[in-house]
């Protein structure tokens, strides 16, 4: 191990993030090189100073109470309400309840069929986007260019991320039409592969997913958060696309709301 490598690897070593084989090599070098041993000592002293002098702040009780109250004051959604009729209507209610069950399964079937139709539409749109000149309306790897581009073109402002550091660079965005409404389509890349992300507000849809389906060799992921319904489609290998999906959900969920 060279001197220069050492400085960059020492932190990883002290943080317990260095592979075992590198640890041995580094410890050997450390025993032989006084300069590096001094550097190591400095880091160890710094860590001791940090742990001695920089406090962890326990949350005040008042804050704990405040957070609890705020959480409980949050409006409850998605609670099914059941109307209970008078006793004499019990038999009728029973019959009605069968009808409700039947209606429920019909709705479920409808929703499945709806998802199937949506999957077909999303896939068709993805394939169309791959044809020359159809991929993007706004071609930019800058999220601060792509996001404002949608202003005035949609009735919502889609979350746009820059994942170039994670190996999924943003390529651009375009307007599209899916499920009977205008939607935001964002295009990300992975090597020579393209990923289309379709987004629209989750109106009346309960949060759920992610679910995956495969159509004609393309993998499609979809889920619904409290804000958006999202479909992701690509010819990328399933594990990589799933990684991208996880990254997207993570990034959407931690994004602070604009204040």
Partner 1 sequence: MEPSQLTRFEAVVLPHLDAAYTLARYLMRDAHDAEDVVQDAYLRALKYFDGFRGTGPGDSRAWLLAIVRNTAYTVRRGRRADERATEFDEALHSEAVADDHPEAAVVSQSEREELHRAIDRLPPEFREVIVLRELEGLSYKEISDVAGVPVGTVMSRLFRARKRLQDALCGEQQEP
20 interacts with partner 1 by CB under 8 A: no
- Name which of 246, 232, 156 is nearest 201 in CA terms: 156
Q: Find the shortest distance in angstroms from Cβ 37 to partner 1.
A: 15
67 lies in the site for partner 1, by CB under 8 A: yes
Near partner 1 by CB under 8 A: residue from 201, 205, 207, 212: 207
Q: Does the protein bind partner 1 through residue 78 (CB under 8 A)? A: yes
Contacts of 9-17 spanning 24+ positions with Cβ under 8 A: 10/36, 10/39, 10/40, 10/43, 11/43, 14/43, 14/44, 14/47
Beta sheet of 193-201, edge-to-edge order: 138-139, 170-178, 181-190, 193-201, 228-234, 218-224, 208-215
Q: DSSP string covering 80-143, please?
A: ---PPPPGGGHHHHHHHHHHHHHHHHHHHHHHHHHHHHHHHHHHHHHHHHTSTT-S-SEE-S-H
Q: Does 37 bind partner 1 (CB under 8 A)?
A: no
Is 7 a residue that touches partner 1 (CB under 8 A)?
yes
15 interacts with partner 1 by CB under 8 A: yes
Binding pattern for the stretch 132-171 against partner 1, x by CB under 8 A and - elsewhere? ---------------------------------xx-----
Return phi, psi of residue 14, to 5°.
-70, -25
Complex with partner 1: residue 136 or 225, whichever CB lies closer: 225
Cis peptide before 169 (omega within 30 of 0): no
First to last CA, the chain: 49
Least distance from C-beta 30 to partner 1, angstroms? 17
If one asks whether residue 56 binds partner 1 (CB under 8 A), the answer comes out as yes
Backbone angles phi, psi at 11, to 5 degrees: -60, -45
Least separation, in Å, of the C-beta of 59 and partner 1? 4
Q: How far apart are CB 129 and partner 1 at their closest, in Å?
A: 26
Least Cβ distance, residue 230 to partner 1 (angstroms)? 10
CB-nearer residue toward partner 1: 57 or 98:
57
Q: Does 51 bind partner 1 (CB under 8 A)?
A: yes
42-50, 113-121, 145-153, 187-195 -> range binding partner 1 (CB under 8 A): 42-50
* Binding status of residue 203 toward partner 1 by CB under 8 A: no
Q: Which of 20, 31, 70, 84 binds partner 1 (CB under 8 A)?
A: 70
Burial profile 51-62: b = 16 or more Cβ within 10 angstroms, e = fewer: eeeeeeeeeeee
Distance, in Å, from the CA atom of 167 to the CA atom of 156, rounded to the nearest integer, reads 27
Q: Which residues contact partner 1 (rule: CB under 8 A)?
A: 7-8, 11-12, 15, 17, 42-43, 45-47, 49-54, 56-60, 63-64, 66-68, 70-72, 74-79, 165-166, 207-210, 223-226, 246-247, 249-259
């Amino acid at each position: 191990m060279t001197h220069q490598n050492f400085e960059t690897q020492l932190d990883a070593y002290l943080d317990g993030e260095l592979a075992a084989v590198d640890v041995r090599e580094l410890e050997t070098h450390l025993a032989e090189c006084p300069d590096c041993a001094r550097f190591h000592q400095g880091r160890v002293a710094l860590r001791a100073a940090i742990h001695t002098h920089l406090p962890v702040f326990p949350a005040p009780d008042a804050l704990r109470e405040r957070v609890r109250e705020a959480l409980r004051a949050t409006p409850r959604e998605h609670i099914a309400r059941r109307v209970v009729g008078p006793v004499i209507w019990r038999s009728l209610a029973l019959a009605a309840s069968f009808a409700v069950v039947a209606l429920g399964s019909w709705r479920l079937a409808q929703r499945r069929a709806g998802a199937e139709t949506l999957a077909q539409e999303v896939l068709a749109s993805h394939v169309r986007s791959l044809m020359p000149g159809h991929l993007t309306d706004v071609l930019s790897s800058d999220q601060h260019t792509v996001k404002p581009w949608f202003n005035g073109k949609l009735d919502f402002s889609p979350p746009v991320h820059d994942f170039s550091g994670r190996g999924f660079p943003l390529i651009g965005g375009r307007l599209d039409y899916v499920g009977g409404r205008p939607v935001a389509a964002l295009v990300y890349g992975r090597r020579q592969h393209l990923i289309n992300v379709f987004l629209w507000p989750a109106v009346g849809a309960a949060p759920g997913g992610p679910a995956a389906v495969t159509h004609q060799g393309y993998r499609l992921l979809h889920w619904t958060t409290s804000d958006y319904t999202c479909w992701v489609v690509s010819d990328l290998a399933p594990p990589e696309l799933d990684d991208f999906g996880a990254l997207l959900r993570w990034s959407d969920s931690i994004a602070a709301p604009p204040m």
